[in-house]
Amino acid sequence: MFSNNLPSPDDALQLLKKSGCSDALVQHVEAVSKYAVEVAESQGDVDIALVQIGGLLHDIGRCKTHGIEHGAVGANLLRSLGVDERVAKIAERHVGAGITETEALRLHLPPGRYMPETPEEKIVAAVDNLIEGTQRVSIEKAEADFREELDGNPAVTRIRKLHNDVFRGAKASF
């Protein structure tokens, strides 16, 4: 459908709606996309259009499942629709601050490493951690929520590391 081209923002929103995503989810991804673009614009050598579309489509897997596997499910859906592979990887790697190969096996995900690697992947993942619904929250709140949910899991420390890597001393705005 898009053969290695990025869909437009309108096309991305239509994909979400055609896939059965709720209005609340659409509002969430719009908030993530907007904030991610703000962060990307402050960083320099980042593909702003990719961040915008990645932000809009990162949670498309939630149209099918709300489990931790929604990243992998969304990536596969995007690939089946012919969406640019870079957007599929954003969806696949955005969960928390990424999922290691060992964690993926334990979580019964398809074998693989689900860690954000590119600046665009990292920005969407980090910003997604700072948006609850449509509201921006502090990294301290995000960490506390992850700590409560994941109690003792090393993924919690990756949340702050990813945040620091993306924001590089700049203050997150909320």
Distance between CA atoms of residues 154 and 164, nearest Å:
16
> Each residue's pLDDT tens digit in the chain (174 positions)?
444 579 999 999 999 999 999 999 999 999 999 999 999 999 888 999 999 999 999 999 999 999 989 999 999 999 999 999 999 999 999 998 999 999 888 888 898 889 999 999 999 999 999 999 999 999 999 989 888 887 767 778 899 999 999 998 555 554
From residue 59, how far is each of 77, 145, 153 by CA, in Å? Answer: 11, 19, 23
Neighbour count for residue 56 (Cβ, 10 Å): 28
Q: Where are the domains of the chain?
A: 9-167
Question: Class of 9-167 per CATH?
Answer: mainly alpha
Which pLDDT score is estimated for 138? 94
Asked if 93 and 121 touch (Cβ cutoff 8 Å), the reply is yes
Q: What is the pTM of this model?
A: 0.92
Distance between CA atoms of residues 173 and 100, nearest Å:
29
